[in-house]
Chains A and B, each alone.
Chain A
Amino acid sequence: MTTEPRKPPPQFIFRLKRALGGKSGWTGLAVQIVFAAVLAWVAYEIVANARANLETQRIASGFGFLKNTAGFDVSLNLVPYSGSDTYTRVFLVGLLNTLLVAVIGIIFATIIGFIIALCRLSPNWLLARIGEIYVELVRNLPLLFQLLFWYLAVLAALPGPRQSISLFNTAFLSNRGLVIPRPIGEAGLDPFLIAIAIGIVGALALRSYARRALFQRGQAIRIWPTVLGLLFGLPLATMLIFGLPLTFEMPQLKGFNFAGGARVIPELVALLVALSTYTAAFIAEIVRAGILSVHKGQMEAGSSLGLSRGATLRLIVVPQAMRVIVPPLTNQYLNLTKNSSLAVAIGYPDLVSVFAGTTLSQTGQAIEIIAITMGVYLLISLVTSAVMSVYGWRINRSLGAGA
């Protein structure tokens, strides 16, 4: 009497319909054809108009201009550059400057952001309110406003180099920027770096060994003294053997300006301050939300199992909070990177400023240059979101077992 299960019929036409038109079937296909025709028409219009316009403006399209000599100077270059280099080199210099500001900005923004988040979560009422005011104030003012404020008002109001504000007599802040000691590598540098690398690798290996020992043999090993020794003792030892890894060239006031030391141009200072304080406000909110998102019961459950407060935080609260924090945090890092393009407003030589700004106005190759610039940012975004979706997929998988 019972009917045995069997395989579904192939339904070729149905599947074809689905593939071509989605759930709407043949209607969907028709919609797509019309849509494709419209897109094709728009594309044709763009190409035809661009061609005609370029012809009347006598601009030769193509990427040949990249090999031409730039002929202008850039105030900050991480790779050797002079005015006689090509536009390709300009692109590279600009890209590296963008990455420089992004990386340093991300580090500062994270530090400030976590501090503000802790302030806001603090049981101290006054501190919590201060954190709140900071977040509200910074989030409700445009970033460009803050950038110009730091650059045009604060940095410009600083005294000249002769009256520089001295920070512990090592760094000097003036309206010409920030002068910091310049590190110079010595003979001991290579062994020192190797020692640090060995220390890190060794500490990680030790940690996984201790984990395995705990999980498989139930043997708790105290590793932190050894880890401390590896991370600090080993580099110290190499310093004693091979000598100092670095010496610092101290900046000295000579005449009207500083001699020696490394000068951080004021544009970079303003950009870094603006980007990191602005992004920090958003990071603080993300971190706060992440920590608050972990249910109070989780902490109670941890302590009721007899875990110490530290162990509960480390093993239960932080991993759960990180799941909530990491994706929007990455988003903020991306935002910071994209926002670093505001550099063009104060003349910090980032990608947009030297490439989409100066190079564009010199060559007039708008289409190529803007496409390259957008492409760079797009690439950074897409790679990051690809990494994040892998992360999200792993998290979902680990949570999916329960759900």
Chain B
Amino acid sequence: MSTDPIVNISTLNKWYGDFHVLRDINLEVGRGERIVICGPSGSGKSTLIRCINALEEFQEGEIVVDGIELGPNLRRVDEVRREVGMVFQSFNLFPHLTVLDNCTLAPIWVRNIPKKDAEATAMKFLERVKIPHQANKFPGQMSGGQQQRVAIARALTMNPKVMLFDEPTSALDPEMVKEVLDTMVDLAREGMTMLVVTHEMGFAREVANRVVFMDAGQIIESNTPQEFFANPQHARTKLFLSQILR
């Protein structure tokens, strides 16, 4: 882990109307670090990672992604988004495009990469998520787990420096969770910087450098997975863990 953080969030505050969703969030993510963010629903964890990608506006504070500063006016949105890949809970594949077109769209139209090169890159990533033979299918013809793996490949084709995962396995049938998690574990082994919102505590134990627990819009506890699970400090963390690990 290098010393300079790739994502640096300082005193981030966000309101929906008068509702204070994110309160004084400070978080540094080092290069190659893998952070799992967990917490009860409505705790603001999804909102937090959506802020990093500028899908949500925030009112106070600052986010710096790889030296690109993202203040409340979100002026450098496009630059940040090119460095950050995102995987959604509901996959959000483009249903009118084939899997391959889903993966080449952004490289062609955003990075102006010639179509042939973009397709070669896309195939490489589809192989990595183990669905190269389905490249010409439409998303609607695939299972949820396959769709989510395509979504990961699609995000990777932009060569992001950071990957954000917003509950990537929550919308999946139980038997498909593993294939997606395996893909994510592989990705982690290769040294990708990852911020993952998930309830999959097994994943957290296996790959995370750090587990961040959020509640009521704030970071309650942040620790290594071993410490976090073995020795939770805060009362709310204990309550949460007792509810989730039965």
Direct contact of A and B (CB under 8 A): yes
Chain B residues closer than 8 Å to A1, beta-carbon distance: 220, 234
Nearest Cβ distance between residue A9 and chain B, in whole angstroms?
Answer: 6
Contact A8 B20 (CB under 8 A): yes
Nearest Cβ distance between residue A323 and chain B, in whole angstroms?
Answer: 29
Contacts A2-B218, A5-B20, A6-B20 given; indicate if A11 touches B59 (C-beta within 8 A). Answer: yes
A7 CA / B17 CA spacing, docked (Å): 9
A11 CA / B24 CA spacing, docked (Å): 17
Closest A residue, CB atoms, query B19: A5
Nearest Cβ distance between residue B227 and chain A, in whole angstroms?
Answer: 17
Contact B23 A5 (CB under 8 A): yes
Contact A7 B18 (CB under 8 A): yes
Contact A5 B59 (CB under 8 A): no
Interface mask (A8-33 → B, CB under 8 Å = 1, otherwise 0): 11010010000000000100000000
Is A3 among interface residues, defined by CB-CB distance under 8 A? yes
Nearest Cβ distance between residue A25 and chain B, in whole angstroms?
Answer: 8
- Within 217-240 of B, Cβ neighbours of A (below 8 Å) are at 217-218, 220, 234
8 Å CB contact of A8 from B24, B59, B217, B234: B59
Chain A residues closer than 8 Å to B241, beta-carbon distance: none
Is B176 among interface residues, defined by CB-CB distance under 8 A? no
Contact B20 A2 (CB under 8 A): no
Contact B72 A8 (CB under 8 A): no
Q: How many residues of A contact B (CB 8 A)?
A: 11
Chain B residues closer than 8 Å to A3, beta-carbon distance: 23-24, 217-218
Chain A residues closer than 8 Å to B60, beta-carbon distance: 9
Contact B18 A8 (CB under 8 A): yes
Interface residues on B, range: 10 to 19
A25 CA / B72 CA spacing, docked (Å): 12
Chain B residues closer than 8 Å to A25, beta-carbon distance: 73
A6 CA / B22 CA spacing, docked (Å): 11
Chain A residues closer than 8 Å to B59, beta-carbon distance: 8-9, 11, 14
A25 CA / B73 CA spacing, docked (Å): 9
Nearest Cβ distance between residue A19 and chain B, in whole angstroms?
Answer: 15
Is B192 among interface residues, defined by CB-CB distance under 8 A? no
A6 CA / B218 CA spacing, docked (Å): 13
Contact A2 B216 (CB under 8 A): yes
A3 CA / B23 CA spacing, docked (Å): 7
Closest A residue, CB atoms, query B218: A3
Interface mask (B78-111 → A, CB under 8 Å = 1, otherwise 0): 0000000000000000000000000000000000
Chain A residues closer than 8 Å to B73, beta-carbon distance: 14, 25
Nearest Cβ distance between residue B237 and chain A, in whole angstroms?
Answer: 11
Chain A residues closer than 8 Å to B234, beta-carbon distance: 1
Chain A residues closer than 8 Å to B15, beta-carbon distance: 8
Contact A14 B72 (CB under 8 A): yes
Chain B residues closer than 8 Å to A9, beta-carbon distance: 59-60
Nearest Cβ distance between residue B77 and chain A, in whole angstroms?
Answer: 11
A6 CA / B24 CA spacing, docked (Å): 11
A5 CA / B21 CA spacing, docked (Å): 8
Chain A residues closer than 8 Å to B13, beta-carbon distance: 8
Nearest Cβ distance between residue A3 and chain B, in whole angstroms?
Answer: 4
Closest A residue, CB atoms, query B22: A3
Closest A residue, CB atoms, query B236: A2
A193 CA / B60 CA spacing, docked (Å): 71
Contact A5 B217 (CB under 8 A): yes
A124 CA / B34 CA spacing, docked (Å): 68
A2 CA / B216 CA spacing, docked (Å): 9
A7 CA / B60 CA spacing, docked (Å): 12
Chain A residues with a Cβ under 8 A of chain B: 1-3, 5-9, 11, 14, 25
Pick 10 A–B contacts, CB within 8 A, sort by A. Answer: A1-B234, A2-B218, A3-B217, A3-B218, A5-B19, A5-B20, A6-B20, A8-B17, A9-B59, A14-B59
> Shortest 8 CB-CB distances between A and B: which pairs?
A5-B20, A8-B15, A3-B23, A3-B24, A3-B218, A8-B59, A9-B59, A11-B59
Known: A1-B220, A1-B234, A8-B15. 8 other contacts (CB 8 A): A2-B216, A2-B220, A3-B23, A3-B217, A3-B218, A5-B20, A8-B13, A14-B73
